[in-house]
Each structure stands twice: as C-alpha cells, then as structure tokens.
Amino acid sequence: MLETALHYSHYLLDKAVKTGDITIDATVGNGHDTLKLAHLVGSTGRVIGFDIQEQAIQTTLEKVIADGFKSQVDLHLSGHEEIGSLSLEDESVSAVVFNLGYLPRGDKSIVTTPATTLEAIQHSLPLLKKDGVLLIMVYYGHEGGRNEKDAVLSLVETLPQKDYNVLRYGFINQVNSPPFLLAVEKK
Amino acid sequence: MLETALHYSHYLLDKAVKTGDITIDATVGNGHDTLKLAHLVGSTGRVIGFDIQEQAIQTTLEKVIADGFKSQVDLHLSGHEEIGSLSLEDESVSAVVFNLGYLPRGDKSIVTTPATTLEAIQHSLPLLKKDGVLLIMVYYGHEGGRNEKDAVLSLVETLPQKDYNVLRYGFINQVNSPPFLLAVEKK
C-alpha cells in the first residue's frame, strides 16, 4: 500500500503538471521522466532536458520521436547547471526533476556532483511558479553519493518556510541505501 | 499541494481501514483519531483506545457518544503498553495509531516515554494483518522528545524489509521541530 519514493514522485508530477506547462528534466538519463513530462504537458507544453552523456540524449531522443513527442521536447547535451542560461521568466515552470547518481545501465563512474547539482537547484528555484515542484530523487549508494546527499539536504532544509514546503519521503528500513525523494513546493 | 504529515496519515488510514475492521488508537488524546477510526470501521468494526489521562478518555467518550459511535469504541484508561494484554489474534488489526508527545491543550508535563512507547509498538506489530499499518506521528519538540524520537527510529529502521515497509514522511525546512510521520506496513 505504501508507495516507493519513485512512485510517489510520479504521483506528485501528475498533480503538479498540466497541459501546456513548461517543465525541466535536469537529468535526462534513460528518459523516463522526460517522456512522462512530455505526456503531461502535451503538444502545447514544453520539456527542457539536460544530460552530459551523449548516450542518454541519443537514447531519449529516439524514444521521444517514437512516442510522437518531438514538438514539445528540447534536449541539451550539457550539464544541468546550464538551467541558469535558459531564457525563461521567473515563476514560469511547473516542475523540475532531478535524479542524482549515475545513469542506470550506463557508466557508473559518471555521476552527478555536489557543485553542479547545487548550482542547478539554485537556478531552478526562482523559475518555479506558485504550486510548482522541484523533485529530487536522491540515489546515494555510489562513491561520493553521501557527500552529495548531505550537500543537497543542507540546501533544501534551509529554504524559508514562508516561501517553500520541503518534503522528505522514503523508506528507511531497507539495506543498500534506498533512494528517497525530496520535494520542494513553491508557495 | 504537498500534504502535511498529519493529512498524509489520514490519507493512509482511509486506504488501510475498511468497514468491519479492528483498529487501535494507542494515544487517544483529544479523540480525533478515535473518531476517524470509528467512522471508517462503522458499526460492525471496533476501535480500541488507550490513554493514561482521565481527561482524554472522558472528553473522547463524550464525543464518541455524541457522534453515535459508542457501539464500536472501547476506551481504556491505561497506558498503551497494555496493548499486549488485549485478547486479539495475531494479524487481526488493520491499523494502529500513535501520537507521541503531550496532550494538546492538556498538561504538557505528561508525555509519552520511550520505554512504554517501544513496548506498545512491539506488542502492536504482530497484531497487524497483511497490508495493515502502524502509524506514528512523532512530535518531539518537548523535553525528552528527541530521545523518544531516536529510540522509535532505531526500532523501526531495523524492522526486516522482507516483512515490513517503513516510510518516513515529513517537512524538513520548518522551525520548531515539526512532527513527522512513520508508517509501518505489514507485507
């Protein structure tokens, strides 16, 4: 009955994202979230995706085309800290999604890192519109993962409660560093 | 859009508890959860409530009678560690609810304590049926609250993942030790 952190993040996206919305997939990876967002925003919306790995962008582009979502998805072969270079107005985005760690079934030595992850989160926050969400799936079992987890927690725990709700959701009795969800909602 | 821990606990109760079920309110307090459970189980179900304060039992009994729930509610003026004395079969209960801390608007010096809280949780776990839930609202801002929080976390974090899912849900950017929810689901 209790949902995994991943399922709960999808439940929140279903609630937060409407047809025509602008959204960001900060870590495209195998494209699951890009496709989900593309489905939610529809042909009048927009999904802007980032990944530093050509393999991730290429695989996801093929899926996007196959599913008929090409018109609403822009993929960028660059790090998510480039969110700061997007010409988007403040309070114009309904969802930003991060998956920390490495590309599943990819090169496990290529991982997200605290400096660029924090920069990407900080660039994302002003873009969120009221009731918009920034969702971070925190995978931290890999080398350096705990440092990144702690750095991200330190950042979101100190977001002012008059402007944001910050939720932590996850199972806590599992071995192997189970992922958890951080959900930041703009009030 | 993000729900408070208290609202999320009610959402889980709505999913877990059906007409005719047996349920336990381990800390009756002002009776909110007793009434909610009584409504969910209906006249064919049962709510067994515990509280060590006569004020809590008396106030709640009046509400129970006023709402027409007398037939399905049994209130015990005793500590929740007495859950172990109930003549209930294992795997017969769909929900057990705890609210740690003091009675709101009551005597703030009377609080739940680690020893009896842990004993009550340990007595409750075998009673849970498959997909049943044990919900603990952890208020820990009072003196001794952090000790109790840590003791409860240590217990539930080590429940075997083949038998239980243990979820932690709560806002993490709030001042004044906001309560969080621990939800234990029997697999």
The predicted pLDDT at position A107 comes to 81
- Residue A101: which of A4, A30, A14 has the closest Cα? A30
Q: Does B162 touch chain A (CB under 8 A)?
A: no
- Chain-wide mean pLDDT for chain B? 95
* Residue with token string 């590309």: A103
Among B131, B156, B171, select the one facing A1 at the smallest CB separation.
B131
What integer pLDDT is reported at residue A82 of this predicted model?
A: 93
* Mean pLDDT of the B130-159 span: 95
Q: Is the pLDDT of residue A106 over 90?
A: no
Residue A36 has pLDDT above 90, yes or no: yes
Pairing mode, strands B22-25 and A128-138 = unpaired
Inter-chain contact B16–A1, Cβ cutoff 8 Å? yes
Band the pLDDT of B117: cuts 50, 70, 90. very high
Enclosing domain of residue A33: 5-186
Other beta carbons within 10 Å of A160: 9
In 3-state terms chain B splits into helix, strand, coil percentages (rounded to 5) of 40, 25, 35
Name the strand (E) or helix (H) holding B60: helix B54-66
Local confidence band at B141 (pLDDT 50, 70, 90 cut-offs): confident
Is the pLDDT score of A154 beyond 90? yes
For the domain that residue A114 is a member of, what is the CATH number?
3.40.50.150
Contact: A175, B185; criterion CB under 8 Å: no
- Please tell me the predicted confidence (pLDDT) of residue B178: 86
Residue B6 to residue B180: CA distance in whole angstroms: 8
* Region of B64 on the Ramachandran plot (φ > 0 left; ψ -120 to 50 alpha; else beta): alpha
Cβ contacts of B173 on chain A, cutoff 8 Å: 156-161, 164-166
Tokens representing residue B62 in the block: 């009046």
Task: Please count the CA atoms within 13 angstroms of the CA of B149 that sit on its side-chain side.
Answer: 17
Which amino acid does the sequence have at A90?
D
Alpha-carbon Rg of chain B, whole angstroms?
15
Which of B1, B167, B174 has the CB atom closest to A171's CB atom? Answer: B167
Report which of residues B3 and A178 the model is more confident about.
B3
Q: Which residues are bridge partners to B25 per DSSP?
A: B49, B97
The Cα B2–Cα B178 span in angstroms is: 15
Residue with tokens 């093929």: A62
**Residue A145, H or E segment:** helix A145-157
What's phi and psi for A11, nearest 5 deg?
-60, -40
- The pLDDT tens digits for A41-52 are 999 999 999 999
Count Cα atoms within 13 angstroms, Cβ side, for A40: 23
Beta strands in chain A (DSSP E): 22-25, 46-51, 73-77, 93-99, 128-138, 164-171, 180-186
The count of structural domains within chain A is 1
Give the residue among A138, A149, A143 at the shortest CA–CA distance from A178: A138
Q: Determine how β-strand A164-171 pairs with β-strand B164-171.
A: antiparallel
Q: Which amino acid is at B114?
A: P
Residue-wise pLDDT tens digits, B65-96: 999 999 999 999 999 999 999 999 999 999 99
pLDDT tens for residues B1-32? 999 999 999 999 999 999 999 999 999 999 99
* pLDDT of B105 higher than 80: no
Backbone φ/ψ region at A37: left (φ over 0), alpha (ψ -120 to 50), beta? alpha
ipTM of this complex: 0.93
pTM, full prediction? 0.94
By CA distance, what is A3's nearest residue in B? B167
Instruction: Give the pLDDT of residue B104.
Output: 77
